[in-house]
Structure 1
Amino acid sequence: MPAAETSPLTVGLLGLGVIGQVHLRTLAARSDVSVVLAADPSPSARERCGVPAYDRLDAVLADLRTGRVQAPDLFVLATPTSTHLDLVQRLLDETGADVLSEKPLTEDPVALDALGSRSDAAARVRVVNHFAFSPEVEWGVGLVAARGWGEPAIVLSTFNDPYVAMPPARRASYVSTWVDSGPNQLGMLERFVTGCEVRAHSAAPDGSRSVTEVGFATGAGVLCANWHTGDSSKQTTMRWEGGREVLLDHTAMTGLALDGGSPVEHLGHDGSVDRKTAHYRAMYDTYLRDRDHPLLSLAHARTAAAVLRQAGDAPPVASLGWQ
């Protein structure tokens, strides 16, 4: 007998901004997922999304209670960072759906501990960690494992985004370079190093630039994030003893490996999809195949929040010429 068909996972998407649109496009391209509702305060975003759309969560919950709309299996949160924790708690309280939230869930480890104390949170809550599954990161992880290089001794990661010139209303959805880019850098680094912690941290008063020195089991690194830039540009370089290096270009999704100063492997990309689509497609592949993956877990979100919070207590970067 033919195998029974599996019904698509039904999804409710909260937030139809820039990242919400990436979620919507990525989910719409999948045959194993069906987006059944969305919510966003913007009338134009609701009109364009192609699914039943609401202006606020209250309206969604009201229709769920009366049965006027299908209850999703999963709610995806692509709303501003400051709303994530409250929305997760409300969805856990008022629906039976699982929740996949954009990162960071919160930068407050105490609040995450409180959420984690709920009996249903670990099973129902997952947090997006899309950089950790990007094509160039997966390539780098496989290369390092195949060559037996172990964990690197030095890491330099620079994440630049052109946010400083954004209109105030749009920029308001971001918190700071450290809070918005730091989780991406930390999630990516967790594929290569163990036990990352902050040793020093300096940030511009408005949060638009930050430099963070970190330590890990086998060495140390620098994480830099900057909104004063003409375009997005994100790279990570990792070095081992003996002249071994891996250079990852997260914007182009390419990579280069050197051994003793000589190139040994080179990764290209076919250009079929843009960076965000590639990242989120890989993240959803992982979520739908293995929703218990550690890098999507509430436990990982709690670890990341603790590292983010360490920056507030860390000394300034002594060698840096700006504050």
Structure 2
Amino acid sequence: MGDRVRVGFVGLGITSRSHFAVLEQRPEVALEFTVDPKVTEPPAFRETTAAHYRDLAEALDAHQPDLLVIATPTPSHVDLTVRALTLSSATVLVEKPLVHDLPALARLRELDGEADVRGRVFTAHHFAFAPEVRWAAEQIAGHPEWGPITRITSAFYDPYVLRGEQAFASYVSSWTDSGVNQLSMLARFAEPAALTSLREMDGGASAWATCEFRSRGRTGLASLRSSWLTGESSKGTTLTLGETDVEVVIDHTANTGFAARAGTLLAAYGHDGRTPRKTARHRPLYESLLSGAPDPVLGFDTTAKITELHHSRP
């Protein structure tokens, strides 16, 4: 994007803090403006306050950013993305999930010929950039003798029950919020093929899903559990390579992992203990996005496939 990247940021809720923590560390980034109709005083960025607007169209009348980040509640993503594409030439990074339903995805696809959706729209699949996920993917890729992945079990718990209706207003449901994280993470290890079951429970606060995937010519099954009925955040994934009984276990809350077989430790990964886990995910995400050759997991084609799986009803 050049030596200087002018950024506009839409949505100043909790999610924005993780983005700002990383963007402030990038010397080429200049925050030009923020947008949020519910905020009167935006947060400081490098001890200064950017221009602030209640409406994106008003902001784009006054600024032409290189990068526009959308971190608003999921149902608002498609309208804001369309506005960003048609009123600016900016690259657009949207918090996951990109859209709240399949008609919204179709709306963006229809705009591609006019606004280069495939070249300009990216989705912040930050779990795919988590250090323990990248470590596990490197271990599996570097040990073809371990064979294909045949089973994945992933459980994501967030204490959003404590937020009540606010959680549903911001994140829609446990599956809407965490399912896309699990599917984008799955894409790091294998090729997701089809959602084979989905059951949403507890009024949308919990979900159970299974997803078929392909790994080194073999078909496997991923079991995906998510729930807000907890007092603490806890997330973990276990990958089983069935031909050799190797297990790769990653803890997303602690950013740690290990690989073992028959009681023998094969490899281990530890966290530095100083970097907040969300910063540890967003830092490499922005490095990739601003590199000029973004990781395909951020791109519209991968997002469209994940979205279709996420919203399929077996």
CA contact (8 A) 1:100 1:125 kept: yes
Q: Which residue of 2 aligns with 1:267?
A: 269
How far apart, in 2, do the equivalents of 1:308 and 1:45 lie? 36
User: Could you list the per-position Cα deviations for residues 87-141 of structure 1 after superposition, in whole angstroms to 9, with x for gaps in the alignment?
Assistant: 1101111112111111111143343233123221111111111111110011111
Q: Which residue of 1 aligns with 2:58?
A: 59
How far apart, in 2, do the equivalents of 1:44 and 1:111 lie? 30
CA contact (8 A) 1:244 1:261 kept: no
Q: Which residue of 2 aligns with 1:108?
A: 101
How far apart, in 2, do the equivalents of 1:135 and 1:238 lie? 16
Alpha-carbon distance, 1:236 to partner: 0.3
What's the secondary structure of 2:160's corresponding residue? coil
How far apart, in 2, do the equivalents of 1:247 and 1:128 lie? 24
| Aligned counterparts, 1:1-323, within 5 A | 7-43=3-39, 46-48=42-44, 50-62=49-61, 64=62, 70-117=63-110, 118-119=112-113, 120-148=116-144, 149-169=146-166, 171-217=168-214, 218-241=219-242, 242-310=244-312, 313-314=313-314
What is the letter of the counterpart of residue 84 of structure 1? H
How far apart, in 2, do the equivalents of 1:45 and 1:188 lie? 35
What is the letter of the counterpart of residue 99 of structure 1? V
How far apart, in 2, do the equivalents of 1:266 and 1:230 lie? 28
Q: Which residue of 2 aligns with 1:319?
A: none
What's the secondary structure of 1:196's corresponding residue? strand
What's the secondary structure of 2:189's corresponding residue? coil
User: Could you list the per-position Cα deviations for residues 43-76 of structure 1 after superposition, in whole angstroms to 9, with x for gaps in the alignment?
Assistant: 36515453222223243134x2xxxxx4210100
TM (normalized to structure 2)?
A: 0.91
What is the letter of the counterpart of residue 159 of structure 1? F
Count of matched residue pairs = 301
What is the letter of the counterpart of residue 259 of structure 2? A
What is the letter of the counterpart of residue 190 of structure 2? V
Q: Root-mean-square deviation (CA), in Å?
A: 1.7
CA contact (8 A) 2:124 2:298 kept: yes
How far apart, in 2, do the equivalents of 1:53 and 1:150 lie? 53
User: Could you list the per-position Cα deviations for residues 226-276 of structure 1 after superposition, in whole angstroms to 9, with x for gaps in the alignment?
Assistant: 000111111000111222000011111100100233111111000121111
How far apart, in 2, do the equivalents of 1:216 and 1:147 lie? 19
How far apart, in 1, do the equivalents of 2:161 and 2:26 lie? 34
What's the secondary structure of 2:204's corresponding residue? coil
How far apart, in 1, do the equivalents of 2:98 and 2:72 lie? 11
- Structure 1 regions of 5+ residues with no counterpart? 1-5, 65-69, 315-323
How far apart, in 1, do the equivalents of 2:166 and 2:184 lie? 28
CA contact (8 A) 1:107 1:306 kept: no
Alpha-carbon distance, 1:221 to partner: 1.6
What's the secondary structure of 1:104's corresponding residue? coil
TM (normalized to structure 1)?
A: 0.88
What's the secondary structure of 2:191's corresponding residue? coil
Alpha-carbon distance, 1:150 to partner: 4.3
What's the secondary structure of 1:43's corresponding residue? coil
- Structure 2 regions of 5+ residues with no counterpart? none
What is the letter of the counterpart of residue 112 of structure 1? L
